[in-house]
Amino acid sequence: MAAIPETGRPTLDEYASFYETYVQLVPETAIDGVLDAQLGIVATLIDELTEARANYRYAANKWSVREVIGHLIDTEWVFAGRALWFARGSAEPMPAMDQDEFSAAADYSKVPIPALREQFTHIRAAGLAQYRTFSAAVLTQRGIASGCEFSVRSLLYILAGHVRHHLRVLEERYSC
């Protein structure tokens, strides 16, 4: 199986400054291994959830563990779509994603734990299969989303950093 070509880490001009926190959480230059390892890490976390733990919130008006995982799933879908859109050279900009609107509309509080695992593992695995077909040149292609310019490569780093961020939050605030 081919790997995502190593093209180095994205530079600051390849993504909106809002995402710097996520990109900094991924110091690796081989993004393929990071994305692949996270597939197993998140699946294991979900496999170990009980219903009580899945519904736990560390404070009022905060997402439950189940909703955090749902947010990861939604983000995988959106950023995988952006990566494909930009990889195919589309000049049309893509819209923003409001995470709170997505979460409310999805109502992940009602999604069974096994369905969360299935969704995350399938979207991440499908994304990896697609990203592994991208050439080094494709990874540097750019497009517009949320009114900002992104490279394909930066989207992959943002995805990996986003998962690392939320895994840290789950560990620190939810004891997962």
pLDDT digits (tens, 9 = 90+) for 11-49: 999 999 999 999 999 999 999 999 999 999 999 999 999
Please provide residue 145's backbone torsions phi and psi, each rounded to the nearest 5 degrees: -140, 140
What integer pLDDT is reported at residue 76 of this predicted model? 98
Q: Dump pLDDT digits (tens) for 82-132.
A: 999 999 999 899 999 999 899 989 999 999 999 999 999 999 999 999 999
Task: Write out the DSSP string of 129-155.
Answer: HHHTT--HHHHT-EEEETTEEEEHHHH
For residue 99, give Cα distances in angstroms to 74, 91, 119, 157: 8, 24, 17, 19
What integer pLDDT is reported at residue 71 of this predicted model? 97
Stated pTM of the model? 0.96
What integer pLDDT is reported at residue 176 of this predicted model? 87
Per-residue pLDDT at 50 exceeds 90: yes
- With bands split at pLDDT 50, 70 and 90, how would you rate the model's confidence at 162? very high
> What CATH number labels 16-26+42-174?
1.20.120.450
What integer pLDDT is reported at residue 1 of this predicted model? 73
Structure tokens at 12: 């600051």
Residues 6+ apart with CB under 8 A from 43: 117, 120, 121
Per-residue pLDDT at 161 exceeds 80: yes
Q: Where are the domains of the chain?
A: 16-26+42-174
Q: Alpha-carbon distance 129 to 109, whole Å?
A: 29
